[in-house]
Amino acid sequence: MYDRTRADEVGDRFLATYGPHGGRMDTFLIEGGRRLSGTLRVHGSKNAALPLLTAALLTDEAVTLRDVPDLADIRNMVRLLGELGCERIAGPQPTTLTLKVHDASQSHARYDIVRTMRASISALGPLVAKRGYARVSMPGGCAIGERPVDLHLRGLRALGADIVLNGGDIVARAPRGRLQGAKMFLGGQFGSTVLGTANVMSAATLAVGTTVIESAACEPEIVDLANLLNSMGARITGAGSPRVTIQGVDALKGADHTVIPDRIEAGTLMCAAAITNGDLVLENCPLDALMAAREVLSAAGVHVTEAGGPSADPMRAVCRVTCERVLRPAEFTTQPHPGFPTDLQAQFMTLLTLADGNSIVTERVFPERFLHVAELSRMGARLLRQGATVVVQGVRQLVGAPVMASDLRASAGLVLAGMAAQGTTIVHRVYHLDRGYERLEERLCGVGAKITRVDDKDIGGPATEA
């Protein structure tokens, strides 16, 4: 049985360790100039796992997810689901999570948990679809620019939900107990919405009639969610294309599902190999989801080749990443999938700081996602920002310096910079990194890096206030 008091204690300890207020604040000390060499396995996808977890709210039966990464965001989501009456059943392995609803009377996703991660909004659709009522606090997450939830609400309203904002909470009701299928357009100012598509698609599985989502997100994480929902008895077609059709059903059952590999972790590790002039073999690598990123790597002189020939499953391939001695400049613009992913922008920008020439990086998904620019400049990078574009003038060498992580992917970029830099780099507030990368420093050290995790207080770090 779920113990709210116990869960709150665990959550409080987590926030004290990783959160921006009080307690221990971990920092990385990185000794640069070490070449990476060896083999790493890509973990299951965080961005896929979070909506998959909330799908357990749609059924009274158990849902088992395999290859779930052990991350701060995942632990917070499990805690949130516990408060919503969805109990975690101990599995045979830490990476296997089994969830089952035992109390459907709780429908309030509180601010104390929701503020730690934006993906908490994924509970809204399943709650109102299954229980007819949901109260979800407006979400938090990384400081990477404005990310409104208006498309989520537009889609749920199209399904017939009555939605009001009350005290910072989104309150949604299905007037007659069930949502109604509808046709809708979910395109926004910066393209489609991944979490919005996941939310509406999940809700529509239990709606009466047929739902058509036009301008749906095409990301692999949406395909993975659709695959889970279909294995639970949903009737979804078109996932991975801009037009998704959902035939509503009366009830969903349990399922056993393996999470897809994390394409953002894979891309980050590819950059780690390249920026250290290393030689890494990546197992469980979703090459098929990284075509745009691989194109940029190839232009820069980074070679990503399938090891042992073509894989039977291009989403779970084995590849080798090597680099030419001199990196070449490149250009890329972030776009919704299948374009270049915004979640790899900071890492690739870091890589291009060492290219022989000028590179151009344009951010079209989150135009303000450039907080890492100032920190990279502290390490000797030459970066000129003009609106949503940054001109990267390559330098011969980065220099170690104290830097501050501002968000999850910027943190990864600073770690990459530290591994390539001359001297010691101190990366403060790596709790951001822990939200999306499982034991990254341990894994990188296993293939040649030298990264030490310490308490900020031990090195006279900055104050812990956000």
Each residue's pLDDT tens digit, 100-128? 999 999 899 988 888 877 788 999 999 99
Q: What is the pLDDT of residue 19?
A: 45
What is the dihedral sign for C-alpha 288, 293, 296, 302?
A: negative
Q: What is the pLDDT of residue 25?
A: 86
Q: What CATH homologous superfamily does 46-258 map to? A: Enolpyruvate transferase domain (3.65.10.10)
DSSP string, 175-231: TTSS-B--EEE--BTTB--HHHHHHHHHHHTTSBSEEEEET----HHHHHHHHHHHH
What is the dihedral sign for C-alpha 261, 267, 271, 277?
A: positive
**pTM of structure:** 0.91
How do 37-41 and 133-137 pair as beta strands? unpaired
Residues in the chain: 466
Which ranges in the chain are annotated with CATH 3.65.10.10?
24-43+261-459, 46-258
What tokens were used for 349? 């920008």
Each residue's pLDDT tens digit, 48-87? 999 999 999 999 999 999 999 999 889 999 999 999 999 9
Q: What is the pLDDT of residue 458?
A: 79
Provide φ and ψ at 110, rounded to 5°. -75, 155
pLDDT band at 192 (very low <50, low <70, confident <90, very high): confident
Provide φ and ψ at 347, rounded to 5°. -65, -40
User: What does each C-alpha distance from 86 to 4, 44, 136 come to in angstroms?
Assistant: 12, 22, 16
Residue 7 reports pLDDT greater than 80: no
How far is 406 from 411, CA to CA, in rounded Å?
7
Q: Which residues pair with 386 in a beta bridge?
A: 389
Amino acid in the structure at residue 288: D
Q: What CATH homologous superfamily does 24-43+261-459 map to? A: Enolpyruvate transferase domain (3.65.10.10)
Residue with tokens 């779920």: 2
Q: What is the pLDDT of residue 94?
A: 82
Residue with tokens 């990503």: 304
User: What does each C-alpha distance from 213 to 187, 189, 222, 369 come to in angstroms?
Assistant: 10, 17, 12, 28
What tokens were used for 205? 């599985």
Q: What is the pLDDT of residue 310?
A: 75
pLDDT band at 2 (very low <50, low <70, confident <90, very high): very low
Spell out the residues 6+ positions from residue 464 whose beta carbon is closer than 8 angstroms to its own. Answer: 20, 21, 22, 23, 25, 456
Each residue's pLDDT tens digit, 274-309? 999 999 999 999 999 999 999 999 999 999 999 877
Mean pLDDT along residues 217-221: 97
Closest CA to 201 of 44, 49, 51: 51
Each residue's pLDDT tens digit, 331-364? 999 999 999 999 999 999 999 999 999 999 999 9
Catalytic residues: 142
pLDDT: which is higher, 132 or 466: 132
User: What does each C-alpha distance from 306 to 37, 282, 447 come to in angstroms?
Assistant: 17, 9, 19
pLDDT band at 168 (very low <50, low <70, confident <90, very high): confident
Q: What is the pLDDT of residue 141?
A: 45
Contact in structure between 38 and 320 (CB atoms under 8 Å): no
pLDDT band at 311 (very low <50, low <70, confident <90, very high): confident
Amino acid in the structure at residue 52: L
Residue 20 reports pLDDT greater than 90: no
How do 358-363 and 317-323 pair as beta strands? unpaired
The 3-class SS string of 370-397 reads CCHHHHHHHCCCEEEEECCEEEEECCCC
Each residue's pLDDT tens digit, 422-451? 999 999 999 999 989 999 999 999 999 999
Q: Which residues pair with 65 in a beta bridge?
A: 97, 257
Percent share of the chain, pLDDT over 90: 78
**In 249-386, where does DSSP find H-type helix?**
263-275, 291-300, 345-352, 372-378
Closest CA to 95 of 114, 60, 68, 73: 68
Q: What is the pLDDT of residue 58?
A: 98
Provide φ and ψ at 422, rounded to 5°. -85, 125
Q: What is the pLDDT of residue 16?
A: 40
Residue 215 reports pLDDT greater than 90: yes
Each residue's pLDDT tens digit, 362-390? 999 988 899 999 999 999 999 999 999 99
